[in-house]
Structure 1
Amino acid sequence: MAASALESAAATALRSVLSKVHMAAERSGRPVEQVRVVAVSKTKSVPVVRQVYEAGHRVFGENYVQELVEKCPQLPPDIDWHFIGNLQSNKVKTLLGGVPNLDMIETVDSEKIANHLDRAVAALGRKPLKVLVQVNTSGEESKNGVEPSGCVELAKHVRLGCPNLIFSGLMTIGMLDYSSTPENFKSLRKCRTEVCEALGMPEEQCELSMGMSADFFQAIEMGSTNVRIGSTIFGPREYPKKDK
């Protein structure tokens, strides 16, 4: 009974989030179709994820390779999975081999990881994989991502040097301090302008993944095309309890 209630709550929360996304998109002057909601299902059980799927959602995100590889075969194959966590080189083959419907990796933060992905996609015979370059817009040592000053070179490397990857845009996590997020979002928009000028691509073809549960409305108003929403849809994360 409790599980059923939790699943129903997640579907209801999804509808509320989508309504707010629609409002934010309107305020930004864009059609809602230009904003993707990634339902971040980290630590959530397969039945709860399935309930959100059955409510009509198809884009989900996971932070940990092993968790995603375990969940993927238990869920429908038409889910578009986004990997949104720190990806280590030694986990690339496991991720790509275990998640055939992986749609995008949002956290490419070095030429090294881009090269590993490029080679693995080719070796597995997969179609080219969409990736975002992760930018550390807050300057925090605890955050992954290339410095804003390095975003052009990394984007150029992915676009021109990795034929099995599709450079799709930029991603940032930003600061937890809500008052600081506008500066992080402005920084990512500036990076997009610089990257698009360097690559000769229209800005509307370069995605911005910014905004999470606490600030997605503002992120969309400021141009985000991809928001990563976990706890607002699924409730607090459920980490295993440690033995005392």
Structure 2
Amino acid sequence: MIKEQLEEVERKIQAACERAGRKRDEVTLIAVSKTKPVSDLWEAYNHGVRFFGENKVQELTEKYDALPGDIQWHMIGHLQTNKVKYIIGKVAMIHSVDSLKLAKTIEKESAKKNCVTQILIEVNVAEEESKFGLKINEVIPFVEKIALFDHIKVCGLMTIAPFVENPEDNRLIFANLQKLSVDIKKKNIDNVNVSILSMGMTNDYEVAIEEGATLVRVGTGIFGARNYGI
């Protein structure tokens, strides 16, 4: 099933790129593998997937140890400061940076390992009470503060759009994140490159691609419904 689902997702990504006049290689598919067994990840890996996203630190580290070293792991879930030390040096990117406290912890732990950690700023574009992330008007002052850190590299923005029946309802959310990235670029802040936009999930990634997504996070569309009972 995973092979067929991957082929369908790939077809939809290709079609969305064509509609937007974009090249296919401008969009990276992240297979969101939370709650899924290592066997499922192996199957996706054997069909070419090299980018995996996890929401929980423990799950990420366990899978990191069980799977090949050429995988790029993305931490996409809310990250507690006391868990940061377990993933520094293992993750290609942290998508969910939304506080100065968290940024400082990532800086400190990255300095200990003498590495630079790539991060995205999580933006709560829709300002949903249930979601983490900065409001749009908080992002530029925040970026200006953490741009001074030596062991963090701001690479872009991430948002989790509301779950909607009609993906078109999220088009403005994605367009607003893209506009924010343009506004940040105009500031020419040292050590900041907001070329990455992580937006769009199984329900709405095609619309997100049309609005400029460079990373799409697809879980259910690849692996099927999740079992939260494990």
TM-score, reference length from structure 1: 0.88
1:163-219 CA-partner distances (Å, limit 9, x unpaired): 111111000001112353112112211211221112358x99521111000100111
TM-score, reference length from structure 2: 0.94
Aligned-partner SS, 2:181: helix
Q: Is the 8 A contact 1:121 1:128 kept in 2?
A: yes
- Inter-CA distance 205–89: structure 2 relative to 1 (3 Å threshold): closer
Report the counterpart of residue 143 of structure 2 in structure 1.
155
Q: CA RMSD in A?
A: 1.7
Name the stretch that deviates more: 18-27 or 178-187. 178-187
2:130 is the counterpart of 1:142: yes
2:93 is the counterpart of 1:112: no
Q: Is the 8 A contact 2:198 2:215 kept in 1?
A: yes
Cα distance between partner residues in 1 of 2:150 and 2:11:
38
Report the counterpart of residue 180 of structure 1 in structure 2.
169
1:79-98 CA-partner distances (Å, limit 9, x unpaired): 000000000111101222xx
Report the counterpart of residue 60 of structure 2 in structure 1.
68
Amino acid of the residue matched to residue 29 of structure 2?
V
- Inter-CA distance 182–44: structure 2 relative to 1 (3 Å threshold): same
Amino acid of the residue matched to residue 52 of structure 2?
F
2:187 is the counterpart of 1:195: no
- Inter-CA distance 172–104: structure 2 relative to 1 (3 Å threshold): same
Q: Is the 8 A contact 2:93 2:118 kept in 1?
A: yes
Report the counterpart of residue 131 of structure 1 in structure 2.
119
Consecutive unaligned residues of structure 2, counting only runs of 5 or more, are none
Aligned-partner SS, 2:184: helix
Cα distance between partner residues in 2 of 1:215 and 1:191:
20
Aligned-partner SS, 1:206: strand
Cα distance between partner residues in 2 of 1:111 and 1:140:
20
Name the stretch that deviates more: 186-195 or 166-175. 186-195
Of the three residues 26, 33, 36, the one matched with 1:44 is 36
Cα distance between partner residues in 2 of 1:206 and 1:59:
18
1:10-33 CA-partner distances (Å, limit 9, x unpaired): 122112111211111122111111
Cα distance between partner residues in 2 of 1:102 and 1:220:
24
Of the three residues 164, 185, 192, the one matched with 2:151 is 164
Report the counterpart of residue 231 of structure 1 in structure 2.
220
Amino acid of the residue matched to residue 176 of structure 2?
S
2:78 is the counterpart of 1:89: no
1:64-107 CA-partner distances (Å, limit 9, x unpaired): 111111111000011000000000111101222xxx44100001
Amino acid of the residue matched to residue 35 of structure 1?
V
Cα distance between partner residues in 2 of 1:207 and 1:118:
20
Q: Is the 8 A contact 1:78 1:101 kept in 2?
A: no
Report the counterpart of residue 111 of structure 2 in structure 1.
122
Cα distance between partner residues in 1 of 2:163 and 2:228:
20
Q: Is the 8 A contact 2:157 2:194 kept in 1?
A: no
Consecutive unaligned residues of structure 1, counting only runs of 5 or more, are 1-8
Aligned-partner SS, 2:5: helix
- Inter-CA distance 89–200: structure 2 relative to 1 (3 Å threshold): closer
Q: Is the 8 A contact 1:79 1:101 kept in 2?
A: no
Report the counterpart of residue 6 of structure 1 in structure 2.
none
